[in-house]
Structure 1
């Protein structure tokens, strides 16, 4: 015979079991489970102890249905191979956890309107309260993402359409700081290893680099394009002028800067004595490069917090006006840049 007020083995512990074990009503157990304030301290302690003794687990799905939300945020990501996207996803998950929300991640390998809508449908099945879309590239079949109605959505790293909630790091200011830093050291111009054309961030960094050179009245060298990888940075570095014409290079991310280091070393050119190099992202190992890399730092933690804050505002009030905060970027000067010899 099982002990008095103890459920049989194999049966899920119910609220009634806890009430019987603690000697209180099921309504009192419900209040404690929902963290209501109208329960005395001793009674709350007794109920909580009974929950622990019996191994009671609240039925979160039933509670979510009753409240109308599931405390889960969906993340749709077009790619998880770039450093920026991985850091953004991690920052969103951390910020969501800080406010008591779980996250569900769905990758979209083919960025089309249909595949994104399919991901939204899947997140609806998984009971996500809101969705954050990390939309690094254009859709292949549409200029703008058409959002399903009634779902709080924030879009990260995109050319946002009117009326959307969008957040991004200040790519323009970051690229401008990188270019102006190199010009300020005395370099005649700055070459650029750009990211892929399909990337919104890569295009904004390239445009800001070009505008900075034009504003300073400097020659704009031809763009050398990579694909964010260190290998592409190495291959791009092999295409740069091998003489003193090229004394400064701004790379659209740190991995390509690492590849450039190898190409320059192979060509017998030193960093920064012969060529100054600036990256973008401030990856965790940037200060371990040889020499440590001057780069643009993005505050991914702030980006994650802004994303979660935006969807929380929409969940609290669907009529909240859309806004487009921009997260700061800053120049981190290390030993890869110097005045030209």
Structure 2
């Protein structure tokens, strides 16, 4: 029987890998467990043998030996939003750098029962820690019980008393956007916001209003929406009728939808209207004129989630309950001083 062959109906074993790679079974075990003591040349030889034989280390056996599955579960309600998608991407990247895997479970809705069901399915996949990319209000209003000792973080703008919250600084981002427009000389500023139920939308809306109040001003208009480009497009008439000379939009999709509608009306940006978005998505830089937008560091949010969870698993009992990542305003050509009247 050659190295490539194993007995009929038998999965390749650690000993098969060891024989093919010319190493001991103990060395194969160390490679499977990610031990740093194995020379790189030996590790590559063992990995090549594993691939050739189709050998997969037994996850349960490895977990028993090291006391961990080295897997983080993520429960999310959607991947449609720019923020959700890139936050999860940041978590996966940070976990991979630390040698951990990520198991993603999407829920069908934002109800607590759906989140609970998603966790039950994740439990079967054997995860050591959990990230909840769901609206924290769901958890605050309907407490969900997790097993004792399971580290949990929530990626959300809201304060949760039960779980650590990791988020970009939503309020400061909105403040920077509004103060930028005020510094340019705008006094009639509208806000095109997100859904009322969203913590992120609420934080941005409140910070916008506070920045105006600090200058003795009120909003020209405040419009709630559902984050979509189409909603930004539909809001154009109300914003124009309000007499606003500038708009702070709660995300780039809304800003770009509004910009298109204004262009269709024959208005020029920033000559007739200044617009600031939020997210600093690739579309912000590729639009014309290029969109001034608030940048969120989703990679840093991902790292903060993973670092916190792994520190909790290591027994650190002095961890922060709220981790906030700074935001920054990226000024481009969609904003300028208001046109003289």
Do both proteins adopt the same fold according to a TM-score greater than 0.5, normalized to the shorter chain? yes
Aligned partner of 1:301 in structure 2 is 299
Structure 1 residue 203: Cα displacement: 0.3
Aligned partner of 1:172 in structure 2 is 171
Aligned partner of residue 333 in structure 2, secondary structure: coil
Aligned residues: 338
Counterpart of 2:273 (choices 275, 299, 303) is: 275
**For the Cα contact (< 8 Å) 1:111–1:138, is it kept in 2?**
no
In structure 1, distance between residues paired with 2:166 and 2:311:
14
CA separation of 1:187 and 1:120: change in aligned 2, threshold 3 A: same
Aligned partner of residue 278 in structure 2, secondary structure: coil
**For the Cα contact (< 8 Å) 2:157–2:168, is it kept in 1?**
no
In structure 2, distance between residues paired with 1:224 and 1:48:
56
In structure 1, distance between residues paired with 2:281 and 2:48:
47
Unmatched segments (≥5 aa) in structure 1: none
Aligned partner of 1:232 in structure 2 is 231
Deviations 1:36-84 (A, max 9, x none): 5788999989877866775544323321233222121111112222111
**For the Cα contact (< 8 Å) 1:112–1:142, is it kept in 2?**
no
In structure 2, distance between residues paired with 1:317 and 1:259:
48
Unmatched segments (≥5 aa) in structure 2: none
CA separation of 1:305 and 1:222: change in aligned 2, threshold 3 A: same
**For the Cα contact (< 8 Å) 2:4–2:53, is it kept in 1?**
no
User: What aligned pairs does 1:99-138 form with structure 2 within 5 A after superposition?
Assistant: 99-136=98-135, 138=137
| TM-score, with structure 2 as normaliser | 0.88
Structure 1 residue 136: Cα displacement: 3.3
| TM-score, with structure 1 as normaliser | 0.88
Moved more, 67-76 or 298-307: 67-76
**For the Cα contact (< 8 Å) 1:163–1:322, is it kept in 2?**
no
In structure 2, distance between residues paired with 1:174 and 1:95:
24
CA separation of 1:38 and 1:212: change in aligned 2, threshold 3 A: closer
CA separation of 1:25 and 1:171: change in aligned 2, threshold 3 A: closer
In structure 2, distance between residues paired with 1:259 and 1:64:
49
**Structure number with larger C-alpha Rg:** 1
In structure 1, distance between residues paired with 2:188 and 2:275:
12
